[in-house]
Chain A
Amino acid sequence: MSGRQTYSLRRRLVGLLIAVVALLWSLSAAVAFRTAHGEADELFDAQMVQVAETLLAIVAAGGPGQVAHEMAEHQHDYQLPVAFQAWQREQAGDGWNLLVRSAEMTDVPATRESGFDEHEQQGELWRFYTVDHDHGRYRVIVGQQHATRYRLAGEIALHLLLPILIGLPLIAIGIWIVVGRALRPVDAVAGALGGLDARHLSPVRIHGPLPAEIAPLVGSLDALVVRLAEALDNERRFTADAAHELRTPLAALRIQAQVASRAVESGARQHALEQVLSGVERMTHLVEQLLTLARLDPDAMLPDGVCVDLAEIARSVCSSLAPQALRRDQGLSLDAPDAMPVLGNHWWLEVLLRNLVDNALRYTPAGGEVRVVVDAAGRCMSVSDSGPGIDPVLRDKMLTRFARGVEADTEGCGLGLSIVARIAAILDARLHFEQGLARPEGGEGLAVVLTFPPAIDSSSR
């Protein structure tokens, strides 16, 4: 994880969920506040009307003394958050005489409007209700501060919000625990992956059922682990085989050189020196083959769509290997058409064919026969020999590196067929084994058959 920024899924989930819950709750509180405020308005307005009507009735019936008495009595019972003025029209003219007022009111009429009215008074917003009685002889103004209403609505909203303030942390803890439980399989996968041993790769083991969201991840990881294990195994086997193949001839060289340097008899020394020389030849062949294998990098493939003539390559390979066949009294024959275009690289096809023919010559006893057939119509090529052949059961194994037939008497190093298989794979050609030529002592040798894909030469278009 070095360098990469990480974040906690759990923390992020808890944060997001809490934010969403808080937002929804706040919205509902805001709506509740508005509704409460509206309801409170209606309620207070109704109360103001009622108070005004009552006051008016008292004033009309008994005069200001009665009002003051009544109000004082009632204010003890329940705090009326209402201020009032009661006025009587002057007998002559338009003036009004103040009959009675509550403490918050001044001696000036609070409003000139009848019905409901709102305006500021002494820096506060007030709501007033004015009602007249007896054809305008009496007037009662009832007023209330808006702040009182806000305070009430605010109290209602606060009561709604209070559970949120206490509940949010509880919800956060709950979400934290639930998310943690839900993410437990992820931890389990991480733990199982961390516990993997590079030397003994095995599929990820997790106890219990897996959530559907994580199962594909584990499945992909398992597939990757299996592929990795195979690749590692292959490399390990290759290293072990390479160690054997490289060290054995080196050991032989060393021992033979020591024997030669100590031999008293000239015959023994000559024999040992010949062994040293043939050991060097063997090592040379092995190193060449290893280098060839290393160079067969599919990424290094030449541009697509270039055709080369397989028949021509077969002729050149057979002619260059003919002396080797003649030396061992082997028959090497080629049956090829004038031309057979094959998609690929000249060097690769030459390496492929040379390995096949060389292998056939190596494994075929002296006096045997090797036949190369290039078939343009069937788009295939075969190299058959009258050697010992390979047991059908073992044929697939022969494609692995360093595999050799049971009789290891030949100088082969076991890389030839794996080189052939690699090139065939790069060229998209199918490689399979068939029965080869009849042997004089009975049975059949081996035939290696390569079938090439149709050649579409873009350069001739």
Chain B
Amino acid sequence: MRILLVEDDRMLGDGVQAGLGAVGFAVDWVRDGESALAALAGEAFSAVLLDLGLPRRDGLSVLAELRSTGNRVPVMILTARDQVADKVRGLDLGADDYLVKPFDLDELAARLRALLRRSSGRANACLRHGDLVLDPAARTVTQRGEAVSLTSREFDLLNVLLDSAGRVLTRRALEEQLYAWGDALESNALEVHVHHLRRKLGGDVIRTVRGVGYMVDEVPG
């Protein structure tokens, strides 16, 4: 899941990027409001973590601008402002969640997962595909009740595919969701990961749509 982090504090941004990266999010980090809008105009993100006190353009104004252009990406505000009025203003401007600094890394990750879950219209925390169950919080996958051992990238790929079950995802869309800027992007890495997943889960889970990309069928659990 690709996340845009907008935070002007160098140390906090660095920490959030590393911490969320360790639990499977691909985090792109910009440090001012203008760069945030530029990044959001160019690419698709699953969610935005937005600080309010930003140089060059205030977080609330970034949010207002974003919503006025019709962008519906889930936004979580990360801020030191804890007054109720600030929260109300942020949420009314179109934010989906509000976390006051200092926050816990686990809580941030959990709220982010909840946000993504809600935005894809699911209530259940786990993703199911027949007898295949993926738990994004615990980062575990079970098939027919037995644990399947996956690498971090394989897990993230399966997560993205299951999250958009029933839709074809292009290679480009998949790569955007899986890799943050600056991540080493090996050529045909995607094919390798798909190949490994098929070997571990069976060939019928991920379907190849020739010339377009990959998809997972919608199979209720």
In the complex, A416 has a CB within 8 A of chain B:
no
Give the complex CA separation of A244 and B52 in angstroms. 10
| Contact between B14 and A256, CB atoms less than 8 A apart | yes
Of the listed stretches B5-13, B69-77, B123-131, B162-170, chain A binds: B5-13
| Contact between A251 and B103, CB atoms less than 8 A apart | yes
The listed residue (B12, B81, B83, B100) touching A252 by CB distance below 8 A is B12
In the complex, A250 has a CB within 8 A of chain B:
yes
| Contact between A247 and B102, CB atoms less than 8 A apart | yes
In the complex, A272 has a CB within 8 A of chain B:
yes
Please name all residues of chain B whose beta carbon is closer than 8 Å to the beta carbon of A408 when the two chains form the complex: 8-9, 55
- Would you give the shortest CB distance from A156 to chain B, in whole angstroms? 79
Contact flag A278-B102 (CB < 8 Å), given A244-B80, A247-B80, A406-B55: no
Residue of B nearest to A402 (CB): B53
In the complex, B16 has a CB within 8 A of chain A:
yes
Residue of A nearest to B23 (CB): A262
- Would you give the shortest CB distance from A50 to chain B, in whole angstroms? 101
In the complex, B192 has a CB within 8 A of chain A:
no
Contact with A along B70-92 (1 / 0, CB 8 A): 00000000111111000000000
- Would you give the shortest CB distance from B139 to chain A, in whole angstroms? 13
- Would you give the shortest CB distance from B25 to chain A, in whole angstroms? 13
Contact with A along B86-125 (1 / 0, CB 8 A): 0000000000000011111110000000000000000000
The listed residue (A243, A252, A271) touching B82 by CB distance below 8 A is A243
In the complex, B56 has a CB within 8 A of chain A:
yes
| Contact between A254 and B104, CB atoms less than 8 A apart | yes
Give the complex CA separation of A191 and B78 in angstroms. 43
In the complex, B212 has a CB within 8 A of chain A:
no
Give the complex CA separation of A268 and B80 in angstroms. 27
| Contact between A251 and B81, CB atoms less than 8 A apart | no
Give the complex CA separation of A258 and B16 in angstroms. 10
Interface range on chain B (Cβ under 8 Å from partner): 20 to 34
In the complex, A253 has a CB within 8 A of chain B:
yes
| Contact between B56 and A406, CB atoms less than 8 A apart | yes
- Would you give the shortest CB distance from B104 to chain A, in whole angstroms? 7
Residue of A nearest to B18 (CB): A259
Residue of A nearest to B15 (CB): A255
| Contact between B11 and A249, CB atoms less than 8 A apart | yes
Give the complex CA separation of A279 and B10 in angstroms. 10
Give the complex CA separation of A258 and B83 in angstroms. 26
- Would you give the shortest CB distance from A363 to chain B, in whole angstroms? 15
Residue of A nearest to B79 (CB): A244
| Contact between A255 and B19, CB atoms less than 8 A apart | yes
Contact flag A252-B15 (CB < 8 Å), given A244-B53, A258-B105, A263-B22: yes
- CB contacts under 8 Å to B, within A224-273, are 240, 243-256, 258-259, 262-263, 268, 271-272
| Contact between B12 and A262, CB atoms less than 8 A apart | no
Please name all residues of chain A whose beta carbon is closer than 8 Å to the beta carbon of B15 when the two chains form the complex: 252, 255-256, 258-259, 272, 275
Give the complex CA separation of A255 and B12 in angstroms. 7
| Contact between A249 and B9, CB atoms less than 8 A apart | yes
Please name all residues of chain B whose beta carbon is closer than 8 Å to the beta carbon of A240 when the two chains form the complex: 81, 83
Please name all residues of chain A whose beta carbon is closer than 8 Å to the beta carbon of B104 when the two chains form the complex: 254, 258
Please name all residues of chain A whose beta carbon is closer than 8 Å to the beta carbon of B105 when the two chains form the complex: 254-255, 258-259
Please name all residues of chain B whose beta carbon is closer than 8 Å to the beta carbon of A77 when the two chains form the complex: none
| Contact between A250 and B101, CB atoms less than 8 A apart | yes
Contact flag A255-B16 (CB < 8 Å), given A244-B53, A247-B80, A248-B101: yes
Please name all residues of chain B whose beta carbon is closer than 8 Å to the beta carbon of A134 when the two chains form the complex: none
- CB contacts under 8 Å to B, within A108-159, are none
Give the complex CA separation of A406 and B105 in angstroms. 28
| Contact between B11 and A279, CB atoms less than 8 A apart | yes
Please name all residues of chain A whose beta carbon is closer than 8 Å to the beta carbon of B16 when the two chains form the complex: 255
In the complex, A94 has a CB within 8 A of chain B:
no
Please name all residues of chain B whose beta carbon is closer than 8 Å to the beta carbon of A279 when the two chains form the complex: 11
The listed residue (A246, A263, A275, A407) touching B11 by CB distance below 8 A is A275
Give the complex CA separation of A352 and B116 in angstroms. 51
Please name all residues of chain B whose beta carbon is closer than 8 Å to the beta carbon of A278 when the two chains form the complex: 11
| Contact between B80 and A243, CB atoms less than 8 A apart | yes
Residue of A252, A254, A272 most packed against chain B (CB within 10 A): A252
Residue of B9, B55, B104 most packed against chain A (CB within 10 A): B9
The listed residue (B10, B55, B79, B102) touching A254 by CB distance below 8 A is B102
Give the complex CA separation of A251 and B14 in angstroms. 11
Contact flag A251-B18 (CB < 8 Å), given A240-B81, A282-B11, A409-B10: no
- Would you give the shortest CB distance from B85 to chain A, in whole angstroms? 10
| Contact between B22 and A259, CB atoms less than 8 A apart | yes
| Contact between A250 and B102, CB atoms less than 8 A apart | yes
Give the complex CA separation of A158 and B79 in angstroms. 87
- Would you give the shortest CB distance from A130 to chain B, in whole angstroms? 106
Give the complex CA separation of A73 and B78 in angstroms. 121
Contact with B along A420-431 (1 / 0, CB 8 A): 000000000000
Name 10 interchain pairs, CB-CB below 8 A, sorted by A.
Answer: A243-B82, A251-B12, A252-B11, A254-B103, A255-B12, A255-B15, A262-B19, A262-B22, A407-B55, A408-B8
- B residues adjacent to A (C-beta < 8 A): 8-12, 14-16, 18-19, 22, 53, 55-56, 78-83, 100-106
Q: 3 closest A-B pairs (Cβ-Cβ)?
A: A255-B15, A251-B102, A252-B12
